[in-house]
Structure 1
Amino acid sequence: MKKRSLNANQITRKNILANLKDKVIKSVYSSFQNNLKINDHFAVAVSGGPDSLALAFLSKCYSLKKNLKSYFFIVDHKIRKESSFEAKSVQKKLEKFGIKCKILTWKGKKLKGNIQSNARKIRYNLLFKECKTKSIKSLLIGHHKDDLIENFLIRLYRGSGLRGLTSFKVNNQLTNEILIYRPLIKIRKKALLYLSKKAFNFYVNDPFNKDDKFQRSRIRKFLEFSKQEGFNQNKIEKTIDNLEDANASVENYVFRNLSENSFYSKSQNKYLLSAFFFIAPNEIIMRSLFHCIKLVGKKYYNVRGKKVNKLINEIKKDKLPKRTTLGGCIIKKVAETVIIYAEK
């Protein structure tokens, strides 16, 4: 490395880490670091909003302190005509702070209908693909404490069960052997907004965040109104904590069911399920099947619960069709054994 480049890198490092002297930012970084136990290179999803810019800053500090290599990715869905310009603006802005971002561009058809859900799927697919290319096993995303509460209320409104209501955690094992981390999950948006303004004096406002046609936007307005009426959001957090304890107990039985009553062949990407697999309570069987189908089918999202329930009933009643497909998998029953393998 040339001497001029080395000096520039040292100055960038010094400038970034200098922000940690601020009391608020120091406290945020402490929480971030405690939630992140990574000792290998990792990737960071950046959008340009205050949450993700705070994540980019904290991740850069973490990589400098731990001497780890970090990759930063911006996804351009091309949903709005300004999206490409915004992605390049964020890229240029962060580059001044020594944070080099790669823009991942969606080249498929323009999204129509259920835009936020489809955009989320595209985003993760692009991020996973890039991580796989670079052999990255850890991906950091910017969900924070306010997102946790919003997500809980959205799931509650939809009638989600115990697992759905506790779906946001610090980390989740997903497809392609990539571990998603949410190191901001215990930090309020207000603190992240402060950090972004202090460190970058810049962030992008997504107009979709205030568009009432999206459920999440309406939930945010409901929460803001609730605050004015004296509603304490800490009560929701306490409820989520209690539900997570209950969910952990159920997951323990799911683990036992998978360990004792199934066999996974990694080389063949195939699951063999014994008859005992289907003796457990329905919730345990469902979650066990979610795991099997998600792993073999290499999907990010679980298949719909109604379809899995139908599958369970067909297996128990010996009425499973000769060729059943679900979540990118083919499911067959041979004698008392159920076989799950990937569609070609």
Structure 2
Amino acid sequence: MSGWAADVAAPEPLNDAAFAALMAPLEPFEPEPLIACAVSGGADSLALLYLASRWAKARSGRVIALTVDHGLRPEAAAEARQVAAYAAALGAGHRTLLWRDPPQSGPVQAAARRARLTLMQQACREAGCLHLLLAHHRDDQIETLLLRLAKGSDLDGLAGMAPQRRGAGLRLLRPLLTVDKESLKATLRDAGLAWCEDPSNDDLRHERVRMRRLVPATTVAPERWQAAAETFARLRGWADARCAAWMGEYLALHPGGCASLPVEDFEALPHPLALRVLRHVVQAVGGRPYPPRSAVLRRALGRLRERPKGLTLAGCRLIRRPAQWLVVREAAGVESLKLAPGETCVWDRRYQIQLDQAAGAGCDPEAFYLGALGAANRSGLQPPAGEAWCEAVPGAARAALPALRYLEAVVAVPHLNLYQPGFSPGFLRISACPPQAAARSDFTLSGRVGILQAAGFGCS
């Protein structure tokens, strides 16, 4: 097939023992592990599939290879079929995932990465798989470090890609971060497997490709770059552990997805730790997939230490109270979406919400939708008989609470225990989602309980 080729001589291949040593720090796995593996057909991901299949088979487990066809190249469908054939030969399962609406302009590679991860996360959930292996290797890590250095990233960026990351019931695992690409090619040659060369990897329109060309010109040995990333990663781990400990003692979490920080204790934090606390809290409360940029956080922290009455940041409002900063979701940015009886949805990345099938009895099933409570008229709402409405949610946080509407009228605000007559508690079930903020950092992996994870803020 055109585009599939072997390469020239390379370093020693990885054997089963070497790969098992790379997987050991990523434990635990089930006794008979089910592992998903992202496989494009390139040398690095195909080598990962080969090694992971042998690793899983030795443990009576199995691997599912996931290939995303972005629809950007005519060869992609044939390459996906070739990966499926390789997977079958290795005793692994395979699925091809289609990206239906690729953008026609803009940063296509970044959009493709986001779409790829979303599609694979969904496939893992459908398969009941808890672990997704990604084939990022040492060369990728060096490129990432240099890209982030060029953009003025802080500690999180300079620490590079983490070996593991948790989020939405799935672990993203990168066992090859200390392995160079040539060793992966050698592994494939040793196994008699060819791979696909994606022409976009040489397209200088892409920023990462341009950085890749610059790496040899730095005259710094790859081992030095790798050591720098590992040093930054250790520093990040220490900072996240300190951050988690401080949040466990001082961060107050309130019903309705808001939080408060004691002003004096927050201002006493060293500047780097204060930045991290602010980053975690606003990302979780704001339901954003990524935290604010470092420069934005630094400006916001500088303003907070001037003690203004309030400010907005990353979908949140920070409101000054006598001794606290109250952090609430900004209602103006909250999405509205339809929810039919019997359906379950993730709303605002913070809550999983299910509307009971019985809610459709005598109602138009197309007339229900979820949105922020905002300034809606609540005069017709009341708590169930013999109960009181919930006053625990601070007033400033109520506008961003999930409210169910029917024919434009608010019929239920479960966080406030308020319902229209005829809509009883229980027909609308709300649960907090896994925390996006905790998933994006290492502090839940440092041996401590993730504070935001316990609170259940955020969802990917």
- For residues 62-95 of structure 1, give each alpha carbon's deviation from its aligned partner in whole angstroms, at most 9, with x where no partner exists: 2212223433211122222322332222223322
Counterpart in the other structure of 1:36: 26
Q: What does 1:184-223 correspond to in 2, within 5 Å?
A: 184-223=176-215
Q: 1:155 to 1:134 in 2, by over 3 A?
A: same
Match of 1:273 among 258, 261, 267: 261
Q: 1:23 to 1:209 in 2, by over 3 A?
A: closer
Distance between the aligned counterparts of 2:214 and 2:252, measured in 1? 47
AA of the residue aligned to 1:33:
M
Structure 1: state its 5+ residue gaps: 1-21
The Cα RMSD (Å) is 2.8
Q: Does residue 122 of the first structure (1) align with residue 108 of the second (2)? A: no
Q: What does 1:37-52 correspond to in 2, within 5 Å?
A: 37-40=27-30, 41-52=34-45
Distance between the aligned counterparts of 1:127 and 1:292, measured in 2? 27
Contact 2:20 2:55 in 1 (8 A): no
Q: Does residue 94 of the first structure (1) align with residue 82 of the second (2)? A: no
**Larger radius of gyration between Structure 1 and Structure 2:** 2
Structure 2: state its 5+ residue gaps: 1-11, 335-347, 349-460
Distance between the aligned counterparts of 1:272 and 1:126, measured in 2? 35
SS of the residue 1:44 aligns to? strand
- For residues 218-242 of structure 1, give each alpha carbon's deviation from its aligned partner in whole angstroms, at most 9, with x where no partner exists: 222223345xx6x422222232333
Q: 1:292 to 1:57 in 2, by over 3 A?
A: farther
Match of 2:231 among 231, 242, 262: 242
Counterpart in the other structure of 2:168: 176
AA of the residue aligned to 1:301:
Y
State the Cα distance separating 1:130 from its structure 2 match.
2.4
Q: Does residue 306 of the first structure (1) align with residue 302 of the second (2)? A: no
- For residues 130-172 of structure 1, give each alpha carbon's deviation from its aligned partner in whole angstroms, at most 9, with x where no partner exists: 2233443322101111211121111112222222110322212
Distance between the aligned counterparts of 1:127 and 1:243, measured in 2? 29
State the Cα distance separating 1:182 from its structure 2 match.
0.7
Q: 1:197 to 1:302 in 2, by over 3 A?
A: farther
Counterpart in the other structure of 1:333: 319
Q: 1:139 to 1:295 in 2, by over 3 A?
A: farther
- For residues 213-268 of structure 1, give each alpha carbon's deviation from its aligned partner in whole angstroms, at most 9, with x where no partner exists: 22222222223345xx6x42222223233333333332232122221221446x85
Counterpart in the other structure of 1:261: 250
Contact 1:278 1:285 in 2 (8 A): yes
TM-score (norm 1): 0.80
Contact 2:141 2:177 in 1 (8 A): yes
Deviates more, 1:117-126 or 1:27-36: 27-36
Distance between the aligned counterparts of 1:314 and 1:213, measured in 2? 38
Deviates more, 1:68-77 or 1:46-55: 68-77
Q: 1:199 to 1:264 in 2, by over 3 A?
A: farther
Match of 2:124 among 119, 131, 135: 131
State the Cα distance separating 1:287 from its structure 2 match.
1.6
User: Percent identity over the alignment?
Assistant: 23
State the Cα distance separating 1:270 from its structure 2 match.
4.3
Q: What does 1:130-169 correspond to in 2, within 5 Å?
A: 130-169=123-162
Higher strand share: 2
Counterpart in the other structure of 1:318: 308
Contact 2:42 2:196 in 1 (8 A): yes
Higher helix share: 1
Distance between the aligned counterparts of 1:299 and 1:177, measured in 2? 17
Q: 1:38 to 1:54 in 2, by over 3 A?
A: farther
